[in-house]
Each structure stands twice: as C-alpha cells, then as structure tokens.
Amino acid sequence: MAQLEIRGLYKAFGAVKVAQDLNLTVERGDALGIIGPNGAGKTTFFNMIAGDMPSDAGAISFNGVDVTRWKARRRARAGVARTFQVPQAFSGMTVFENVMVGAIFAGGQPQRKARTTSSGILEQTNLDRFANTQAGSLTLLNRKRLELARALSTAPQLLLLDEIAGGLTDAECSELVETVNRINAGGVTVIWIEHVLHALVSSVRRLAVLNGGQFIRQGEPREVMDSADVREIYLGVEPETTHGVSA
C-alpha cells in the first residue's frame, strides 16, 4: 500500500486552473523532488496535501485513509508535516520554544516528552547551540533550520519541504542536503519542491515536473532533467548544462 495516493486533484481560482487532474503515488520512505516554473502550482499542491487549502475535486489518501476533507491539524496529527518558503517561526520566542510549540500543539505530545523531543531535534538540525536564541535574530540558514526543526517536532511520517534551500550558499545547501538525507534515511518520506536544482538532484530518488497545473514528466532525476520537454518548458537550456544549475 502506497503511503500517499493522489487521484484527480483539481483546483482553480476563478478562471485560472492551478491543478488539473493531478495524479501521484508516493511509497513509504521515498524521496521525491518536484520542480516547475513560477506559477506552475507547486505550493498550491502542497497546500492541498497538508490540508491548508481544500481541493475542488479529486481525492487524497494517506496510509490508506481518505484524508481529502481533513483539516491541516488533523493531518499533522496523522503524520503530515510541512515547511514554508518564508519561515513561519514565532520571532519573539526562543528557538527551543518554537520547537516545543510544534511538538505540543501540532504533535500532541505532553510537555515532558515534548522537551525531550525538542532537544533531540535541535541537535539533529544543528540548532542546539541556539536553543535560547530568539528566532527573530537568526541568520537565514538558521531560520531555514528552524523551519525544518518545527516540522520535525510533530514526528512526521511525510515531510513536505517547500524551497527550503532558497537563498543559501553552496556550502549551506550541502549541509542542508545532508540533514534531509539523514531524515529520509531514518524512515521519513520526503517530497521536496525546490528551485536549487543541484541540492534537489543530489538528494531525491525521483523527480516530477509540474507545469500549468499538470505533471508533465516523472522519473529518475537525471533522465527527467535531460528530457527535451523539461529543457524547453522549464529550463530553457541544453542537457549538458542542466547539471548543477540553480534555477
């Protein structure tokens, strides 16, 4: 049984169709990357999976249960977590307090367990030395780390990463990729939307291309990146120049 099954997902804002008959199957423990030009419908797709936005049609199944009409909080309790393009941390709270909030209110953990969970997650995401630092004073890299830590605090089975590498240096991206790879190796399924292609391709095992609200191609990352339709619609470059490109 697939962990996540999406069938016929449809969403429109007025006359603009941002999701048109989207179909996707994700197995437990998979690492899937999603790319596409701005306006392709990527974040809207995540919003529907996470329960932040209802679909107009179609169905979403998680661990064999139809969650199509579930609210975001219920999906979080079931094991679906996400990050946002713009970090959503509480800037006036400490790093530790931010993670605690996720563990208690989204993860449903009692306070004592949440403290232990939060300490472990801060170490996992290299934020332990910033535990008592106010979130609003963090660097971009550490805000991205905190966004990831907050998602992990809910003990997810499925982790949705929305452009978490954006704005980072190559060295910072490499460090982030290592962290994501460890999380995935620990059994958490990862779906990652990203424009920093070298980070994405070095981490995921499958790649899907979203354009005009539709998946136009899915497969092994290098094969997808080298395909003519992806070069024409998304990259606009020849295949030998796609590797390592940040778009």
Beta strand 206-211 with 31-35 is parallel
Q: Is residue 85 assigned to a domain?
A: no
Identity of residue 29: G
The confidence score (pLDDT) of residue 236 equals 58
Residues 61 and 165 in one domain: yes
Kindly give the pairing relationship between strand 4-13 and strand 31-35: unpaired
Check whether residue 199 and residue 243 sit in a common domain: yes
- Range of the structural domain that residue 136 is part of: 90-155
Domain count, the chain: 2
User: Does residue 244 surpass a pLDDT of 50?
Assistant: no
How many CB atoms within 10 Å of residue 219?
13
- Res 234: pLDDT: 60
Residue 1 has pLDDT above 90, yes or no: no
- pLDDT mean across residues, the chain: 91
Predicted confidence band of residue 235 (pLDDT cuts 50, 70, 90): low
Q: Give the confidence band of 232 by pLDDT, cuts at 50, 70, 90.
A: confident
Asked whether the beta carbons of 74 and 66 are under 8 A apart, the reply is: no
DSSP assignment, residue 173? H
130 falls in which pLDDT band (50, 70, 90)?
very high
Residues 164-201 have pLDDT tens digits of 998 888 998 898 899 999 999 999 999 999 988 888 98
CA angle (157 as vertex; 216, 162 as ends), nearest 5? 45
Would 84 be classed as within a structural domain?
Answer: no
Do 15 and 40 share a structural domain?
yes
212 — pLDDT class (breaks 50, 70, 90): confident
Backbone angles phi, psi at 17, to 5 degrees: -90, 110
pLDDT for res 25:
97
CB pairs under 8 A, 24+ apart, for 55-59? 55/9, 55/10, 55/11, 55/19, 56/10, 56/11, 56/12, 57/8, 57/9, 57/10, 58/6, 58/7, 58/8, 58/9, 58/10, 58/19, 58/21, 58/22, 59/5, 59/6, 59/7, 59/8, 59/9
Residue 163 in domain: yes
Question: Do 168 and 222 have their domain in common?
Answer: yes
Mean pLDDT of 85-107: 93
Q: What's the average model confidence in pLDDT over 144-149?
A: 94
Whether residue 170 sits in one domain with residue 205:
yes
Q: 25 and 60, same structural domain?
A: yes
Mean pLDDT within 80-92: 92
E strand spans, the chain: 4-13, 16-26, 31-35, 57-62, 65-66, 80-82, 158-162, 189-193, 206-211, 214-219
Mean pLDDT, range 85-110, rounded to an integer: 92
Closest C-alpha to 76, from 187, 154, 2: 154
- pLDDT tens digits for range 46-73: 999 999 999 999 999 999 999 999 999 9
CA 47 to chain CA centroid, Å, is 10
Instruction: State the Cα–Cα distance between residues 58 and 6, nearest whole angstrom.
Output: 8
As a whole number of Å, the CA-based R_g of the chain is 18
Q: Which pLDDT score, from 0 to 100, does residue 243 have?
A: 46
pLDDT tens-digit series, residues 4-44? 999 999 999 999 999 999 999 999 999 999 998 888 889 99
Residue 148's pLDDT is: 95
Same domain, 73 and 102: no
Cα separation values, 203 from 16, 104, 162, 178, 207, Å: 32, 30, 14, 8, 10
CA dist 128 → 15, 110, 198 (Å): 48, 21, 27
d(CA 1, CA 16): 34
pLDDT tier, 157 (very low <50, low <70, confident <90, very high otherwise): very high
